[in-house]
Every structure is written in C-alpha cells, then in structure tokens.
Structure 1
Amino acid sequence: MKILVFNGSPKKDKSDIMHITRAFLAGINEKISPEVKVINVIDSHIEYCRGCFTCKLNGGTCVYDDDMKMILPEIIASDLLIFNFPLYCYGMPAPLKVLVDRTLPLSSMRMKWDGNRYIHVGQADFSHLHYLMICGCGFPNSRNNFEPMVAQFKLLFPQNHTIITVPESPMFNVPEATGVTQPRLELVQKAGKQYAERWEIDDELLREIGSPMIPEETYAAIVNSNAC
C-alpha cells in the first residue's frame, strides 16, 4: 500500500493532528508495511488556481510550473490519500484548500450524471484511490463544528472515503493530559488496524474516537482559564 499524507497544519510535525495520524499509521503498520510519504503543505510552493481551465482543455497540464507538477502524479500513484488538518473556520486551512483547488487538472471539462448530480469526468483512473480525512478541533464537542467540512469532503470524494473527527484535539500536545489522550490514541491505532484489514472502520469506533475526552464543561473551563 502506498500512502500519501497531506499534513494541512502550519505547525507541521508539531501539530495536534499529527499525533492522531501517527497513531493511525501505527495501526496500519500492525497489519502491513505501507510506503508512506508526508507532505507538509505549508512548505510546498503551490500557486492559487486562477480558474482558466487550461488544464481541462489541454489534457491536464497546468499553466503554473510549481510543486503541484510533482504532487499530481504522486496522487495517482497512491492507494490512500490522508488529509490531516485542524478545523479552521469550519473548513480546511488555506494552504490545503489551495492544494485541493489545484487538483483541477485531474478532471476534464466533460460532465456526466452520477447518481444525483453532475460531476466532471476524470482525466485519469481514480478507482483504486481511497480517501481519509483526519480532522481535529479545539471545541469541546463535535456538534455543529465538523458538519460543513464533512459535507465538503464527501462531495470532493464521493467514493471510498472515511472520516475521523476529534474534538478537544489541543490536548494531544499537553503532556499533563496523557492520561486521557493516550487511551484515545490507542483507539485511533485500533482504527488504523481495522482500516488496513478492510478499508473501513466500525461506526461505533468512529463515534468513540469522535467523543469528548473529558467533560465538555471541564474542557471549556480549562480553555477559559488560560484565555487572555
């Protein structure tokens, strides 16, 4: 299995979310030995898409000569794309959104009816690809926080997608919180092992991973006590 991780956090390896991703990859490693590449998106030179559609009309070549020229072939060559990022204003951080925008060369101008909507026809075969979203937020719970990003991810990748959301994620970078974060990382590792076995994770396990690690009111009080 070839895994390409897009780390969307500006904090790179020190991000809260990378703790979760590393635990997930550890679970996969219990079953198989994947080839893993991590791209810290903040370090990549990726220009903003200007919507000229040149790529869709000339077979997939973008007018920009930047890092996407190397990233696009790596996407096609992968089996699993992991989008790892903190929730920013109910969506993904800007550098990662720019990268997603610049995947436009992978589709053509042609459209087809697919289920209940029109989609662009791909300029490559994506049937082998699987997509995983790992997203954390600083709120005490998942309600009315992740829904916009979850909806966007499902629209972007309607097939073969899996979504992991984790509230209270800043605690993963707090050594004093290890007593509650370590058990949660163990659940994530279990999820990685399941995923390696069958490309999916039990719904109950996903709900457990997405539940608050400490009571909501306690977490909010801790955050407020440290607020300026």
Structure 2
Amino acid sequence: MKILVINGSPKREKSDTMHITHAFLEGMNAAAENDVRVIHAVDQHIEYCTGCFSCMRNGGECVHRDDMRGILEEILNSDLLIWSYPLYCYGMPAPLKALLDRTLPLSSMAMHKVGDRYEHVGQRDFTHLRYVMICGCGFPNSTHNFEPAISQFKLCFPNNHTIITVPESPMFNAPEAVAVTEPRLKKIKEAGRQFAESYTISDDVMQAITSPMIPEDQYAAIVNGTIR
C-alpha cells in the first residue's frame, strides 16, 4: 500500500502526535509491507487559497506556482492518506489548513446532491483513497475538544475514513511517562495491524487508545505543576 502521511505539526518529527502515527504505521507494516512517505506541511511552500475558483473552472489549474501541484499528484497516487496533527484551537494547525484549502483543484464548480447535502463534483478520480485522521491534544479528556475537528474531517472525507483522537498526548514526549505510554503505543500498533488487515479497528482497541492514560485530575495536576 502506498501511504502518504501529512504531518500538520510545526514540530515536525518532534510532534507528540507523530509518536501515535509512527506506532500506527509500525502496526500496519507488521501486517504488510507499505510504501510510506511523510510530508511536513510547515516545510512546504503553500500559498493561501484566494478563493478565485479558477482551478474549479479550468480543469484544476491553480494560479499559484508552488509545492501544491506536486502534493496533489502525490495524494492522487496514494492509497491511504494519514492526516496527523495536534489540536490547535479545536481544529488543525494553520500550515495544514492551508494545504487542505489548496486541495480545491480536485473539485469542480458543479455540484450534486449526495444524501441530504450537496457536494462538488470531482475533477479528478480519488475514489480509491482511504483517509485516517490521527489527532492528539493536551487536555486530559476528549469531551468538547475534538468534536469540531472530527466534524470537519467527516465533511471533507465522507467516505472511507477512520478517526483516532488521543487526549494527554504530550505524555508521549515525556520519558518519565513511559510506564503508561508504552502500553498505549502497543495498543496503537495493534490498531494499525487491524486496520492493515481489514480497514477497521475493533471497538475495544479503539476505546483503549482514545481514553486517558492516567486519571484526568492527576494529569491536570501534573501539567499545572510544571507551569512556571
């Protein structure tokens, strides 16, 4: 399988969330060999979308001459897109949002009704793609935190998507937390293996990897105790 990881964290490989993503990929690779490429959005030259819509009228030709042309081709040539990013203001970091905005050339101005909503008709065929969202946040639970990002992802990629959200993710970069992060990463590897084999993750594994690693009040006290 050809996998494109789009990392939205400005911290690149030092991202808390990338620990989760690498474990997921390790699990996938244990089930089958994959061709994996990682793009750090912050390192790409991506101009902001101006909303001129010329790309939606002229066969996908954007007015900007930047890295998005190559990225779009990489997306279309992949089998799986993994969107890996930390939660910023209940959404994705700005470099990744700029990249997502610039996928507009894949769609045309024409629209059609799908179920109870309208969608743009594609200019390119990307029906083969599957999508995984891996998102971590620094809060001790998921309640009223991930919902906006999840809603956006489901609307952007209504088909063939899998969503993994992990609270307390800064613990993955804390060596003193290895006693709790190591078992969690093993569960995430298991999720990757299951996904590689069936494109699904069992409910018990999903519950295990998306729940807090330590009690919420304990995590909050630790974080608050490190503030200078």
Instruction: Classify the TM-score, shorter chain.
Output: over 0.9
CA drift of 1:170 comes to 0.2
SS of equivalent residue, structure 2 residue 31: coil
> What amino acid is aligned across from residue 12 of structure 1 in structure 2?
R
C-alpha distance in 1 between matches for 2:3 and 2:148: 26
Instruction: Give the corresponding residue for 1:68.
Output: 68
SS of equivalent residue, structure 1 residue 212: coil
Q: Which whole-Å deviations, capped at 9, do the CAs of 1:21-71 have from their partners, x for residues lacking one? A: 110000011111111000011000000000000000000010000000100
Summarize the alignment of residues 1-228 of structure 1 with structure 2, pairs less than 5 Å apart.
1-228=1-228
C-alpha distance in 1 between matches for 2:205 and 2:28: 16
C-alpha distance in 2 between matches for 1:204 and 1:88: 28
After the TM superposition, list the runs of 4 or more consecutive aligned residues in structure 1 that deviate by more than 4 angstroms: none
- Number of aligned pairs? 228
- Give the aligned CA root-mean-square deviation in angstroms: 0.6
CA drift of 1:108 comes to 0.3
> What amino acid is aligned across from residue 127 of structure 1 in structure 2?
T
> What amino acid is aligned across from residue 64 of structure 2 in structure 1?
Y
Q: Which whole-Å deviations, capped at 9, do the CAs of 1:107-131 have from their partners, x for residues lacking one? A: 0000000011000000111111000
> What amino acid is aligned across from residue 45 of structure 2 in structure 1?
H
SS of equivalent residue, structure 1 residue 73: helix
> What amino acid is aligned across from residue 180 of structure 1 in structure 2?
V
C-alpha distance in 2 between matches for 1:77 and 1:203: 31
> What amino acid is aligned across from residue 186 of structure 2 in structure 1?
E
C-alpha distance in 2 between matches for 1:128 and 1:206: 24
C-alpha distance in 1 between matches for 2:103 and 2:203: 30
C-alpha distance in 2 between matches for 1:170 and 1:37: 24
Q: Which runs of 5+ in 2 are unaligned?
A: none
CA drift of 1:203 comes to 2.3
SS of equivalent residue, structure 1 residue 3: strand
C-alpha distance in 2 between matches for 1:154 and 1:117: 13
C-alpha distance in 2 between matches for 1:30 and 1:115: 38
TM-score, normalisation: structure 1 = 0.99
> What amino acid is aligned across from residue 102 of structure 2 in structure 1?
R
SS of equivalent residue, structure 2 residue 214: coil
Q: Which runs of 5+ in 1 are unaligned?
A: none
SS of equivalent residue, structure 1 residue 81: strand
CA drift of 1:179 comes to 0.3
CA drift of 1:136 comes to 0.2
CA drift of 1:204 comes to 2.3
TM-score, normalisation: structure 2 = 0.99
SS of equivalent residue, structure 1 residue 183: helix
> What amino acid is aligned across from residue 112 of structure 1 in structure 2?
H
C-alpha distance in 2 between matches for 1:5 and 1:66: 19
